[in-house]
């Protein structure tokens, strides 16, 4: 199995060939189960399954990836061990991300909500039924006060709630996204009171304020939206050099540029797009860099066409 895994790694990382990598991984799985007699929930077997699922994501075989992740999740939950339970929460998030890509938003919501519920637990409880019932309504009622009073505040929890809020925003369900972002903000402000790693949480605070601005703009509260974006920007700019903060600054500058362009303040919009490009470059956010550059180039091109007319 080890030799097959080495072959898969070579095809995953060195000379990329997803098909050959999958063959190696499937062979490694067969050897591990049938020749080495490892159990299905053995960490080695689970890790091979996870690499197979990632390979499917890499090749955009999202349906296959979702089936593998669901199988892994069932195995992990049935094993009733604390280590596998922690891994199950991570796999649930990966599964939700695949469903988001597939635009199966209800499934994504179900698995994200489950992950958030589990992350709220003080400790692992092997007496609980960890099997996620497909027929069960897993919708999670999250209030701002619920998050503010959370006993557990971790980077993982913030990321998962942020992803769920983003899922709602993507569907223009702004009324569901808003309390989540407000709740995250309360959590972060509580964390900032007693955590030494200020920059990480301050960057998250800036990111959340930027998201709040986007949601409020979607709700038609334009002045409030601008206020939150500018407040987030003032925080992220003060921690320039931190990749997350620089990426956040780029996104907010770009969003402000879009707003000013919509209001026909083209010179300000161009300046904002330029600053977005600068911060995306610092953050090595190449996706953002392409998007922000396209916005600036498009606006300049439209102005040039108007001047010719």
Separation CA 186–CA 228 (nearest Å): 14
Instruction: Tell me if 269 sits within 8 A of 261, measured CB to CB.
Output: yes
Per-residue b/e over 94-110, b at no fewer than 16 CB within 10 Å? bbbbbbbeeebbebbbb
**Surface-to-core class of residue 193, CB atoms within 10 Å of its CB (0-12 exposed, 13-18 middle, 19+ buried):** exposed
Whether the per-residue pLDDT at 166 is higher than 70: the answer is yes
Q: Is residue 37 situated within a structural domain?
A: yes
User: What pLDDT, on the 0 to 100 scale, is given for residue 39?
Assistant: 80
The domain total for the chain is 1
User: What pLDDT, on the 0 to 100 scale, is given for residue 95?
Assistant: 97
Separation CA 191–CA 69 (nearest Å): 32
pLDDT in tens, 248-283: 999 999 999 999 999 999 999 999 999 999 999 999
Whether the per-residue pLDDT at 4 is higher than 60: the answer is no
Sign of CA dihedral 274, 279, 282, 286: negative
User: What pLDDT, on the 0 to 100 scale, is given for residue 234?
Assistant: 97
Q: Is residue 78 situated within a structural domain?
A: yes
Give the pLDDT band (50/70/90) at residue 9. Answer: very low
User: What pLDDT, on the 0 to 100 scale, is given for residue 10?
Assistant: 42
User: What pLDDT, on the 0 to 100 scale, is given for residue 131?
Assistant: 55
Q: Is residue 224 situated within a structural domain?
A: no
pLDDT in tens, 25-84: 778 877 777 777 778 888 888 988 898 999 899 899 999 999 999 999 999 988 878 888
The pair phi, psi for residue 54, each rounded to 5°, is: -65, -40
pLDDT in tens, 198-208: 898 999 999 99
Give the pLDDT band (50/70/90) at residue 151. Answer: low
Q: What is the CATH number of the domain that holds 24?
A: 1.25.40.10
Read off the pLDDT of each residue in 182-190 and give the average, rounded to a whole number.
90
Separation CA 183–CA 204 (nearest Å): 13
User: What pLDDT, on the 0 to 100 scale, is given for residue 42?
Assistant: 86
Separation CA 31–CA 44 (nearest Å): 11
User: What pLDDT, on the 0 to 100 scale, is given for residue 99?
Assistant: 98
pLDDT in tens, 121-143: 756 655 455 556 554 444 555 55
Instruction: Tell me if 209 sits within 8 A of 184, measured CB to CB.
Output: no
At 31, is the secondary structure helix, strand, or coil? helix
Q: Which domain holds residue 51?
A: 1-104
Separation CA 89–CA 77 (nearest Å): 9
Whether the per-residue pLDDT at 6 is higher than 50: the answer is no
**What DSSP state is assigned to residue 104?**
-
In a 13 Å sphere around the CA of 205, the CA atoms on its Cβ side amount to 21
Q: Is residue 96 situated within a structural domain?
A: yes
Q: Is residue 137 situated within a structural domain?
A: no
Q: Is residue 246 situated within a structural domain?
A: no
pLDDT in tens, 198-248: 898 999 999 999 999 999 999 999 999 999 999 999 999 999 999 999 999
At 167, is the secondary structure helix, strand, or coil? helix
Instruction: Tell me if 284 sits within 8 A of 243, measured CB to CB.
Output: yes
Separation CA 213–CA 164 (nearest Å): 17
Separation CA 145–CA 183 (nearest Å): 7
Q: Is residue 267 situated within a structural domain?
A: no
User: What pLDDT, on the 0 to 100 scale, is given for residue 19?
Assistant: 65
Percent of the chain topping pLDDT 70: 83
Q: Is residue 216 situated within a structural domain?
A: no
């Amino acid at each position: 199995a080890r030799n097959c895994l080495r072959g898969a790694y070579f095809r995953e990382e060195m000379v990329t060939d997803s098909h050959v990598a999958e063959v190696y991984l499937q062979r490694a799985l067969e050897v591990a189960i049938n020749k080495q007699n490892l159990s299905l929930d053995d960490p080695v077997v689970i890790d091979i399954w996870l690499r197979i699922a990632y390979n499917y994501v890499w090749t955009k075989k999202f349906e296959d990836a979702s089936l593998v992740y669901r199988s892994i999740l069932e195995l992990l939950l049935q094993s009733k061990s604390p280590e596998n339970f922690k891994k199950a929460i991570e796999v649930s998030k990966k599964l939700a991300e695949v469903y988001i890509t597939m635009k199966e938003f209800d499934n994504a919501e179900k698995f994200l909500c489950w992950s958030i519920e589990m992350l709220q637990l003080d400790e692992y409880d092997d007496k609980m039924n960890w099997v996620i019932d497909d027929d069960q309504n897993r919708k999670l009622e999250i209030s701002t006060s619920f998050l503010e009073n959370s006993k557990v505040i971790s980077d993982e929890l913030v990321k998962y709630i942020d992803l769920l809020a983003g899922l709602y925003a993507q569907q223009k369900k702004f009324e569901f996204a808003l309390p989540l972002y407000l709740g995250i903000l309360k959590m972060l402000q509580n964390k900032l009171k007693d955590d030494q790693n200020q920059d990480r949480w301050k960057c998250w605070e800036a990111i959340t304020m930027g998201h709040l601005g986007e949601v409020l703009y979607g709700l038609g509260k334009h002045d409030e939206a601008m206020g939150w974006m500018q407040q987030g920007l003032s925080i992220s700019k003060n921690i320039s050099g931190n990749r997350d903060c620089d990426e956040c600054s780029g996104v907010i500058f770009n969003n402000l540029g879009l707003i000013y362009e919509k209001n026909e303040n083209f010179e300000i919009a161009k300046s904002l797009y330029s600053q977005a490009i600068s911060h995306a470059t610092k953050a090595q956010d190449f996706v953002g860099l392409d998007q922000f550059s396209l916005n600036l180039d498009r606006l300049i091109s439209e102005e040039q066409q108007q001047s010719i007319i």
